[in-house]
Structure 1
């Protein structure tokens, strides 16, 4: 090798699929936690408040992570497109 980084377009496309799958799992987990939060909405007491607080914190972090992954997915899709264009131009 001549010190160049080689990336197969197939690998980039697979990474994009894997990232989409991960985001779908995160969104499903977030929805599940939200449904649990709704089901404990009428609970009373300190333990209930602590549980709601922890769930709210978790959902906040989860939403932030999902947004980060969405941004990375857009960047990866753009990169994939540029690499496909470069590959077409090279042929």
Structure 2
């Protein structure tokens, strides 16, 4: 079984998360029992469940026209100050 990423799981609603968790448990059980053909069917169901969230995440990450915010570097000088100057 292939899990979906944390980012994708974060975009699922409560019912979808519960369905994903249930499908995941069934899929792992089937793999443990050696029923890989049935586990493959469960994996397809998980992929279909995650597909809208994956597309939403891709749209979010590929936004254009938004400036990337980059903070100015912070320089920390821990050297002793010379009072003689």
The normalised TM-score by structure 1 is 0.42
TM-score by length of 2: 0.45
Greater helix fraction, Structure 1 or Structure 2: 1
Q: Work out which of the two has the higher radius of gyration on C-alpha atoms and give 1 or 2.
A: 2
Relative contact order, CA 8 A, sep 6+: which one is greater? 1
